Structure 1
Amino acid sequence: MGLNDIKGRIAAAEQAAGRAPGSVTLIAVSKVQPPARVESVLMAGQRIFGENYVQEAQGKWPDWQARFDGVSLHMIGPLQSNKAKLAVQLFDAIHSLDRMSLARKLAAQIAEQGRAPELFVQVNTGDEPQKAGVLADELPGFLASCREMGLSPQGLMCIPPESGDAVPHFRLLRQLAEDNGLPNLSMGMSADFETAIAEGATHVRVGSAIFGARDYG
């Protein structure tokens, strides 16, 4: 596969779902990928990238951002509260706002730095005890508290359970977004992004299908 293939499949999925062309944002997930692979995707014109680790992003992206115009970084992994300052400095969007302590840290840093990344609230749609995210029935109160402290979440994000059908989770996330007046849905990865687009995703997070398998060695 590769970038052009994925872009073609996104365009086809948009059309099949009756979505406007270009209505889905592709986030190329570059975590733990060799620099040569990331640079080749940059050279091919991709400008929106997702990272899971603040320190990894800090170590590699400033140089690329100096060389390639228009790069936008999205934080898609769990965010430690003590990394909130760096995250606000580095990222244009944060998809993993998942708890009140992090919301308070982000609100303080956004006020201090005068820089406001786009925020997505991570929802634990499967109610999985080992997984981060706000529970569905707690979302309205969480959003109200975020707004009271000056945050303006623009969307929701989910990672469905690894086993089973993702569609009910995508549909739940879409309903929650509609109920709470949020326009954006970050859902769908390499294995299921076309399904997510059919269910209303505005942002899909695709890594291995673009870059190849990761090497954690």
Structure 2
Amino acid sequence: MTQSPTTPLPADSPHGLAAVEREIAHACKEARRDRASVTLIAVSKTFAADAILPIIGAGQRVFGENRVQEAKGKWPALTQAHPRLQLHLIGPLQSNKAKEAVALFDAIHSVDRPSICQALAKEIESQNKHPQLFVQINTGEEPQKAGVAPQDADTFIAACRDTYGLTISGLMCIPPVDEPPAAHFALTAKIAARNGLKNLSMGMSADFATAIMLGATHVRVGSAIFGTRTVPHN
């Protein structure tokens, strides 16, 4: 069975896929949006290939990982066996990992500083590979979290385009855990709109329905699909 990134999964999908799909479909209906306008990214960080294979078998084709090194260890074999898979880097990226990231990932959601832009521009040209790029916005301006401050977003997006020659397709945000997410999603959508960006990577297991209501095009869902993680992951 094959599935495009936006095709709903069957009702008998394993684990939490069916429930997630029902909630996505409901949120899209409530928002008067086409279900195909939302891409579900199954976040497989910390899960081994044997946990991922049933999800692939159900038709899921888009997966997310937080770390380049972890993804390198398990995804080349999976993508060789299942060539239609898409892999998204949704965690922080170090500039010294840009070469591997461009080679491995179809999308990078964590563009947030000049050193990353420079490294990505170099590797995109060298490898002639063009992953989809998202600028991460630190909507809560949390010092421990990666991302561009909202007031600096317009300038940074312009630099991505004009200084580094990067094609930015959208924005990503991770709201503070102790605040309602809606305001953060709305702020990210506002920044995207004024910069002509159509893609919004926002919403996780606990809040993806809210994100869809506020315009998310990509939702990053892990525990609701795979279950509780038993391996610590910072």
**2:70 counterpart (29, 37, 56):** 56
- Spell out the pairing of 1:115-126 with structure 2 (5 A cutoff): 115-126=129-140
Question: Quick one: which amino acid aligns to residue 206 of structure 1?
Answer: V
Unpaired runs of 5+ residues, structure 1, are: none
Q: What's the TM-score once normalised by structure 1's chain length?
A: 0.98
Q: Which runs of 5+ in 2 are unaligned?
A: 1-14
Which is worse superposed, 198-207 or 35-44? 35-44
| Pairing 1:12–2:26 present | yes
Deviation at 1:69, TM superposition (A): 3.0
Give the match for residue 110 of structure 2: 96
Q: Residues of 2 paired with 1:36 and 1:85: CA distance?
A: 27
Match of 1:194 among 181, 184, 209: 209
- C-alpha displacement of 1:58: 0.8
User: CA offset at residue 79 of structure 1?
Assistant: 0.5
Q: Is contact 2:48-2:74 (8 Å) kept?
A: no
Secondary structure, aligned partner of 1:154: strand
Structure-2 separation of matches of 1:18 and 1:135: 31
How many residues are aligned here? Answer: 217
Asked if the contact 1:33/1:215 (under 8 Å) is kept, the reply is: no
| Cross-structure match for 1:140 | 154
Identity percentage of aligned residues: 56
Amino acid at match of 2:120: L
Asked whether the 8 Å contact 1:98–1:133 carries over to 2, the reply is: yes
8 Å CA contact 2:24, 2:35 repeated in 1: no
SS in 1 for 2:64: strand
User: 1:131: how far off?
Assistant: 1.0
Kindly indicate whether the alpha-carbon contact (under 8 Å) linking 2:138 and 2:150 is maintained by their aligned counterparts in 1: yes
Distance 2:155 2:179 in 1: 29
- Matched residue, 2:51: 37
The answer to whether residue 90 in structure 2 is matched with residue 82 in structure 1 is no
AA aligned to 1:60 is: K
What TM-score do you get using the length of structure 2 for normalisation? 0.91
Match of 1:154 among 130, 148, 169: 169
Choose the corresponding residue for 2:198, options 178, 183, 188: 183
Query: Is residue 216 of structure 1 aligned with residue 231 of structure 2?
Result: yes
